[in-house]
Every structure is written in C-alpha cells, then in structure tokens.
Amino acid sequence: MPDKGSVASAPDFSTVASGPVRSRAEVPEREGPASVPPGNPTVTALWEQFPDGVLRNRVCAGDEDVVYIDPERVTEILGWLHETAGQQYDHLADVTAVDYGGGRPIEVVYQLWSIPHRAALRVKCELPLDALEIDSVTGIWVGADWLEREVYDLFGVTFQGHPDLRRILMPENYAEGHPLRKDFPLRGRFSRAEQTRRALTQDPEDYYMPGEIGERTPQVVGSGADGGDDAAGSGAGVGTEGGDDGL
Amino acid sequence: MGVDKPGVLGAGTPAFLTTRLDFVVNWARRNSLWPMPFGTACCAIEMMASAASNFDLARFGMERMSFSPRQADVLICAGRVPYKLAPVLRRIWDQMMQPKWCISMGACASSGGVFDVYSMVQGIDTIVPVDVYIPGCPPRPEGLIYGLMMVQEKIRGESLTRHGELRAEDPLAVGRPRADDQEVSDLTGPFGNSTQQNQVSGLVDTGAVGRPEDRLP
C-alpha cells in the first residue's frame, strides 16, 4: 500500500519529457533573431534574411514551425521562400484565416510545403480588424486564387492584386457580412424569411456561366448521319479536326 | 382453343370489368412512381441503398431513378439544403410535370436538423410543398420505402375531379418562396429566427446564454 501511494504522488515523466511532444510552455515564443531555436533551418534563414520582416516564431504541436511576419512584406517574404534554392516552398497547401475574437487581430495563415525538401512551414500575418488588407500571393502560387477568395468571403480580408476577388462559397447576393467572423451571429443577421426570400431571388445561372466552368470544345454532332456510305472516313476526318480545335 | 378458356373471374364472365376511373388512374400512378433523387448529403447514401438489391425500391414501382425532373413523379430531397442551393431545388421542382409529389427525407431536409446556422434552409417546406416527411438522421432504407408507400396511400385517396384544387399551382409563384414571411417564421421557430436570437458566438459576453425553452425537460 505505501508503494501504491508513492507511485501515485510521484509519476515518472522522464521518458515523456525526452519524447517528441513539446508543449507550448516548453517552447516559448521567440522575439528577435538572437533567440532563434536551433530547429528549422528555414526559420533561421528567415531571421537572417528578413530581420525586420519576421516578427516572431514559435513551435506548435511539437514540431510545426510557425513564423509571424509583417503583413506589408508578405509577397516579398513568401516569394523569397518560393524562389530561393535552399527553401523552394513550391506547394501552397492552404490559405486560411483565424479570428480569435475579442477584438484581436485576424491571422491570415499560409501553410507551405516544399516538395523537394519535404518540409512544411506555417506563415502567419496578423491583420488588425480595422485594416483587413493584404497583398495577394496569386502571383507566386496560382492556386492561391480560390483560397484567397474563400478567406475574403468568410472573413472579409481584402487581397490586393487578386485577379477575381469575389465570393466563392456564399451566394453572390449575400449581404449579411462575413460568416466566420467571431462577431457574426450564428444564424445570420437577417430573419429566416428574409434569408429565404433573398435565396430564391438569385439566379444560379447568372453566376455560373459556361465561360467560368471552362469553355468546352463544341462537339460535331450528326456528322456520321450525313455520310452513311463513307461513315468511317468522314468520322475520322471530323474527329481529327475537332481534336486540333480543342488543342 | 383459347375461345372457351375462362376469364379471370371464372367461366361465363365477360372479358371486361367496370371500375371507377379514379381507381384505375390512381392505381397506375401510385405503382409507377419515378423518383427524382435530389441527394445532397448522407441521406442520399441511404437512398442509394434503398434502390440497391437488398431493399429494392423497384418492388413498389419506383422502377427507375429519374435524373431528369421532366420525367419524374416524386422529388426525394435527401440531405441538407443550403440557401445557395434553394433556387436550384425550387427550379427542379418547377420543372417536374404534374402530378408530382415531394418527400423530405431526413431531419435536415425537414427542419434543418442540427444545422441551425446562417447558411442552411430550415426545412425545405419553405421552398417547395412537401407531401411526406421522413424522420431520421439518416432514415434507414425501410424508412424511405415506408415514406414512399405513404405517398402511394396519398395517391390512392386522390380524385381526378378534385385535381385542380389538389394540385393547383400559381404560375406567378414559380421561383418564389412557398411560404410567406409569417409562415416561414412559424415553421422555423423557435429555431432559426435570428431576430429572437440571444446567443452571440465569440468572446463577447452578451449576458444571455442558452435558451432554456429549447432544452428537453
């Protein structure tokens, strides 16, 4: 019995402390290049390259490096991460945002992945609620197009230089704001009757034109019917022409 | 040799029978219901299972899922419908030929379900007229088949002479909400009327948390 009591009062955490999981308390946020953790070489390189562009960094969930950068220099820093030989973060896995509520700034999150180096990096930009503007990174990764539209739609962050910044998930005539903000009421701002009425006044075909989905090559229909005696030859000819047009 | 063969009613009976026109028409209609599957979520998986061989919807005359609304008789809305999809659902309903029926399959289609949020239609009966509601999340295939049989029972009681009053549609109402504002508020209350909402998400303390009247006793 005394053995049991001692075991309960003094658990052995020595093996846990040496394990791969580090809590946030053990890895505090680092301010300034003097306290760069020795872990991620990209973070070290960022501190050296942009000493005034990188605000701080921390390690999240054990081994995920998060770098906070100046929103004014987002295209410069992310472009450097994309182009530089040792970094080559060529895959933009996600662009999203987080609203922590309480008037705190909205964080725009860029989740990067380097295919040649097999390394991940999370870059965050803090935007105050009264200046929700940031440069678009569609010039660096084309795939950021819809991701930034989603952030604009749900959080109201304006991306400067985006080629087609409009709503992507909510209806085009949605006028209640940006739903993923913490100050947005769960059921929206309008009554259900007004929401129903507005939903039915929209015409989906106004917003999904064939040009947006992608122009389809017009198919030659009925070409086999007119040349019944020479169906094989004419069909092959039409097919070749159609292929050339399509390419 | 087929001349002396007795008819179905026995020897000596004539080879025809008299019946009510309503009965024949309703018999034909209710045994050849072609569903228009409008599956948006997990309920659609159960709808597929209903059509597959274990449950075999075709036993009851739903022989063929009609993926064109113009050749469909009964709209099965299976799954949640967001406001962005509401005009699509309404248009498909308007494209279906009379006579037509509508089944709201599952909790989300019938009432919004757990999705009492800004983006979700709180029951498709605010968009289209619903004949049968099937509860469940999702309903089992037996539930869908039972709902279709309830549609069949409803057809059995219909009459051609009252067709106009049963199935009248106002052309001016096409594309408009099925219910007026008051009816929408009644249908969606106490859930989903944001004017009565006293709970704001986030870290702002509004002083009003929870709605006791929404809780089960």
Q: Is there a domain that residue A229 lies in?
A: no
How many domains would you assign to chain B? 1
Q: Is the per-residue pLDDT at A80 higher than 80? A: yes
pTM: 0.72
Judge if A126 and A194 occupy the same domain. no
* Mean per-residue pLDDT, B163-181: 67
The residue with tokens 């000819």 is: A237
Q: Is the per-residue pLDDT at A243 higher than 50? A: no
Q: How many CB pairs under 8 A join A and B?
A: 100
CATH number, domain of B93, equals: 3.40.50.12280
Judge if A115 and A55 occupy the same domain. yes
* Mean per-residue pLDDT, A132-157: 92
CATH number, domain of A29, equals: 3.30.460.80
Q: Is there a domain that residue B42 lies in?
A: yes
How many domains would you assign to chain A? 2
DSSP letters for B112-172? -TT--STTB-S-GGGTS--SEEE-SSSPPHHHHHHHHHHHHHHHHT--GGGHHHHH---GG
Judge if A126 and A110 occupy the same domain. yes
Q: Is there a domain that residue A226 lies in?
A: no
Q: Is there a domain that residue A110 lies in?
A: yes
pLDDT of residue A125: 94
For A173, name the nearest residue in chain B, comparing CA atoms only.
B84
Of the listed ranges A155-169, A232-246, B76-90, the least confidently predicted one is: A232-246
For residue A237, the Cα-to-chain-centroid distance in whole angstroms is 46
pLDDT of residue B188: 67
Q: What is the extent of the structural domain holding B139?
A: 35-158
pLDDT of residue B7: 61
Q: Is the per-residue pLDDT at A18 higher than 50? A: no
The ipTM (two decimal places) reads: 0.71
Q: Is there a domain that residue A221 lies in?
A: no
Q: Which of A100, A188, A204 sits opposite B118 (nearest CB)?
A: A188
Tell me, what DSSP letter sits at residue B128?
Answer: S
List of residues 6+ apart from A9 with CB closer than 8 A: none
Judge if A162 and A205 occupy the same domain. no
Q: What is the extent of the structural domain holding A175?
A: 170-209
**A183 vs B contacts (CB less than 8 Å):** 200, 202, 204
* Mean per-residue pLDDT, A229-243: 39
Q: Is the per-residue pLDDT at A240 higher than 80? A: no
**A105 vs B contacts (CB less than 8 Å):** none
Judge if A58 and A175 occupy the same domain. no
